[in-house]
């Protein structure tokens, strides 16, 4: 039942947001009483915490799968960096989590360190295979990528430039994979 409550909470959060979904929404969705929900969770905040933790664990699993996929480093890079945002919650929901639930926002932020470790391995392998120029320090690539992605979670920047989170990540991908220089024939 606990897993069903979490799954329903995820759907309710996507529909109403973190602040506006209710225990009643979950109970109604599952055809159970609010009392049954409270048997498993003490509060709405505890449900939110479990939802975020569940998301983080699913993301770790996805990252491991991405690292084990067939193909070269570009495919794995795209899986690590880009696929996550295509399936991500809407921008407004991420912004709401960041703004109103900062203690929960820390959990996905901590996940970024795990992703950075995997990306570092991937960059080193790309250099070993000759796919990435050897004269570029992987630590600098990591720093630039990390700070760039961190920057797009500044939602005022996104709004100011009329960008969605997905659009910003697409631009980051183009920048890191193809640079800013025109191709010289």
Domain ranges of the chain: 1-41, 44-178
The band of 137, judged by pLDDT with boundaries at 50, 70 and 90, is confident
The pairs formed by 94-100 with CB atoms below 8 angstroms and a separation of 24 or more are: 94/153, 94/155, 94/165, 95/155, 96/17, 96/18, 96/19, 97/18, 97/52, 98/153, 98/155, 100/18, 100/19
Q: Is 44-178 in the same CATH topology as 1-41?
A: no
What angle (nearest 5°) sits at the alpha carbon of residue 87, between those of residues 83 and 92?
Answer: 120
pTM of the model: 0.77
CB 17 within 8 Å of CB 92: yes
Instruction: With CA atoms as reference, report the closest residue to 19 among 58, 47, 41.
Output: 47
Q: Which of these CATH numbers, 3.30.450.20, 2.40.50.140, 1.10.357.10, 1.25.40.10, describes 44-178?
A: 1.10.357.10
Calculate what percentage of the chain has a pLDDT beyond 90: 38
Residue range 43-101, pLDDT digits in tens = 999 999 999 999 999 889 988 888 887 777 778 877 777 655 445 678 899 899 999 99
The band of 27, judged by pLDDT with boundaries at 50, 70 and 90, is very high
CATH superfamily of 1-41: Homeodomain-like (1.10.10.60)
């Amino acid at each position: 039942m606990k897993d069903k409550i979490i799954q329903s909470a995820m759907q309710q959060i996507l529909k109403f947001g973190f602040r506006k979904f209710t225990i009643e929404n979950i109970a109604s969705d599952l055809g159970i009483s609010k009392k049954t929900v409270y048997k498993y969770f003490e509060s709405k905040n505890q449900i939110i915490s479990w939802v975020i933790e569940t998301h983080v664990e699913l993301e770790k699993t996805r990252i491991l799968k991405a690292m084990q996929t067939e193909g070269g480093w570009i495919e794995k890079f795209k899986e690590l960096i880009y696929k996550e945002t295509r399936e991500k919650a809407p921008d407004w929901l991420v912004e709401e989590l960041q703004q109103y639930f900062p203690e929960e926002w820390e959990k996905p932020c901590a996940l970024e360190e795990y992703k950075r470790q995997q990306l570092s391995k991937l960059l080193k392998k790309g250099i070993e295979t000759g796919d990435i120029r050897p004269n570029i320090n992987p630590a600098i690539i990591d720093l630039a990528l990390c700070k760039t992605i961190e920057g797009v979670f500044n939602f005022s920047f996104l709004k100011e430039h009329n960008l969605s989170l997905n659009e910003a990540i697409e631009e980051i991908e183009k920048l890191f994979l193809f640079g800013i220089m025109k191709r010289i024939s």
